[in-house]
Structure 1
């Protein structure tokens, strides 16, 4: 199966936990809406990923549960291996381990951790991956995860990060955005994203069609007036791009549910991205797009 033929999987990144019941109700709703993956990011001020995912497993039947993505700089690899194994064991083998280098300087400073260069952060992430999977792949290790292999999801944008992802990951994620030294994010053009995908696929070589390619969508607006809403969002999100360039962004989906579905089909056909993650605020309206693509 080529990447262009791989079935879609859809995930939603959840961050809001008002209380226990609202979180559990939200998890049930994600599954009921047809999503394949419930994801939790890893930022200070947001819920702790593994407790939130384990709680969600208790009220759902089949949805996969993932981190999108853990900040490797926050973790000791041996302790993380224990947490991953325990989470997989207590969710009946539904965990997908997402990892990244971390990119927000202020979060490192708040945690009392050094904010190293990008190269050093990638090197630390490599150590995390090698140590965690060294433990998980050792059948004498305890506790044992339920899955024989916990899927590894690595996400980023830079050359070193994408080389590591192409070498090791089961799922490779693209943010479609660049960050400055302090972690401020700006959206990349469609051409920039496609170049990053080509770079990663070339680095993967023979593995390219075995990898599942993911995109984090930054904005979803289901509307009958695509042109007007695109113009409004352009001014807010990416004034440095032309309106035409903004409309072409794979990370911004604006239009009717059918138009958005067509855009995602085109993205999959052209660059092989079939794993789509949306943010929490798009959870409900994006479900209409999922329904069209399932049919």
Structure 2
């Protein structure tokens, strides 16, 4: 079944609150469905209160993009997620993964034990299981998982509603299409793609600007880049759904205005 398009924006608080609040309202006016928050303590306020505040300003869905499982106990993450589902009346989506590159250094800086990837994945499983217990039979908090390796993909097939692949610069369209094909053959999940580059511009909080090379990404036919022309971007977005199955596209806040014409045309279709 072809899923309708939806579009999310990652919008950390990098300005004063009135400016950020206006940005959130503008994102809603442009037709985006979801406001997303990274889990990076040194960048901004904590995701949970920030998302609750954002949800009170607009009718946007809100979500984490994504919780890093080692940063807090599983029960604490699950409790936050369930609380946000209740406070937003069902508009919260819990994105979760095992942590971005470099998470080990952050854990050491905060005095948190660094555990192997296998244990971090077990933390994700425990978090989702606890969330389901808290939700009970009448609430279902959607779960998005950021995955890469086979064990993470297998867990996502068990517990996630949305799957996004943690892409690197050298991943080709064919590489990712193979991953997507295997996932969709096993289970009908929503596929999301995190677009960190538009044209030659790199979203500063979604990818390391100094380590991201748009020309190399274009050469690899990477799915983490889109053209800066809205018409060309629209064609490419539709191609990705037809050929691979992607229906959920996530941009950085700096790209929200540039991609607005494509969002206005495609959202919900």
**Structure 1 length-normalised TM:** 0.80
Check whether the contact 1:81–1:136 (CA below 8 A) recurs between aligned residues.
no
Give the superposition deviation at 1:17: 3.5
User: Is the CA contact 2:78–2:128 (under 8 Å) kept in the aligned structure 1?
Assistant: no
CA distance in 2, matches of 1:113, 1:96: 26
1:194 aligned to which of 165, 177, 200: 177
Change (3 A) 1:243 1:95: closer
Match of 2:259 among 266, 270, 286: 286
Whole-angstrom CA distance in 1 between matches of 2:218 and 2:77: 44
| Counterpart pick for 2:5 among 5, 8, 16 | 8
Aligned with 2:4: secondary structure? coil
CA contact (8 A) 1:222 1:257 kept: no
Aligned to 2:47, which of 46, 49, 58? Answer: 49
Cα-Cα RMSD: 2.3
Structure-1 separation of matches of 2:154 and 2:147: 10
Corresponding residue of 1:148:
139
1:80: which partner in 2? 77
Deviations 1:7-55 (A, max 9, x none): 1010001113422212211211110111000000101312211111111
Structure 1 partner of 2:213: 237
Q: 1:236 and 1:118, CA in 2 relative to 1: closer, same or farther beyond 3 A?
A: closer
Write the distance in 2 (CA, Å) between the matches of 1:176 and 1:187.
8
Determine which structure has more spread, i.e. the larger CA radius of gyration: 1
Unaligned runs of 5+ in 1: 140-146, 178-185, 224-232
Query: What are structure 2's unaligned runs of at least 5 residues?
Result: 202-208
Question: Which consecutive aligned stretches of 4+ in structure 1 deviate over 3 angstroms post-superposition?
Answer: 241-244
Measured against aligned partners, the alpha-carbon deviations of 1:170-194 in whole angstroms (never above 9, x if no partner) come to 11112322xxxxxxxx442212211
1:127 aligns with: 126
Alpha-carbon separation, structure 2, partners of 1:134 and 1:83: 13
How many pairs are equivalent? Answer: 257
